[in-house]
Amino acid sequence: MAYVALNPIRDKMAATPEESDFTSIQERLYDQAIEKNTPSVKQKRLIKQYQKNNQHHKNTYNVDDEPCQQASLKILDGSSHTPLSEGIPYTRQDYFELVDWTSRALRADKRGAIDESQAPILKRLGIDEESQIESVTRFQRHFFDVAGPVTSFE
């Protein structure tokens, strides 16, 4: 996932993951931003850009003149107990940091990398531990009293 998310950066089409249009990392960063009660200025910019791109995508058709359907992303649930077919054992913050860290590596066979002067992605977008704590404390709003596969509650 991180390798594909970094293609626009490696090709110098984007300077940062949040500027990498039409990528899963941008979609995940968008999801994080819209969940926040008061998104940062950079998150507001990301929201606007993502919505503009998404509107453009809705007007895209395949060779059979049918509207293109966007596949949904697997959830990043942070649990090592979830089968990979249902979710990915990373939290969003861990994944954001992994992509940011990987994108800073300079490679002789690639044209681009994130400039070292850029702040880390979580700091750049105003994502902190508090937002993770908030999502955990609001757990019941999303999952009622329990979460996981039904077979684990027997």
Distance CA 46, CA 54 (A): 12
pLDDT range class, residue 127, cuts 50, 70, 90: confident
Is residue 7 within 8 A of residue 108, CB to CB? The reply is: no
pLDDT for 45 = 93
Tell me which residue range forms the domain holding 18: 2-153
Give every CB contact of residue 89 below 8 A, 6+ residues apart in sequence. 77, 78, 79, 80, 82
pLDDT for 33 = 92
Average pLDDT of the residues of the chain = 79
From its phi and psi, is residue 76 left (phi > 0), alpha (psi between -120 and 50) or beta?
beta
Q: Is the pLDDT of residue 144 over 60?
A: no
The total domain count for the chain is: 1
pLDDT for 30 = 93
pLDDT range class, residue 26, cuts 50, 70, 90: very high
pLDDT for 63 = 62
Amino acid at 14: A
Please give the structure tokens belonging to residue 146: 């329990």
pLDDT for 131 = 54
pLDDT for 119 = 86
φ and ψ at residue 87, rounded to 5 degrees: -170, 170
Strand positions, DSSP E, 10-141: 75-76, 87-88
Q: Exposed (0-12), middle (13-18) or buried (19+): which is 37, by Cβ within 10 Å? A: exposed
Report the SS3 class of residue 61: strand
Average pLDDT over residues 48-60: 78
8-state DSSP, 119: P
Amino acid at 21: D
pLDDT for 105 = 81
Put simply, whether the predicted model's pTM sits higher than 0.85 gets the answer no
pLDDT for 67 = 65
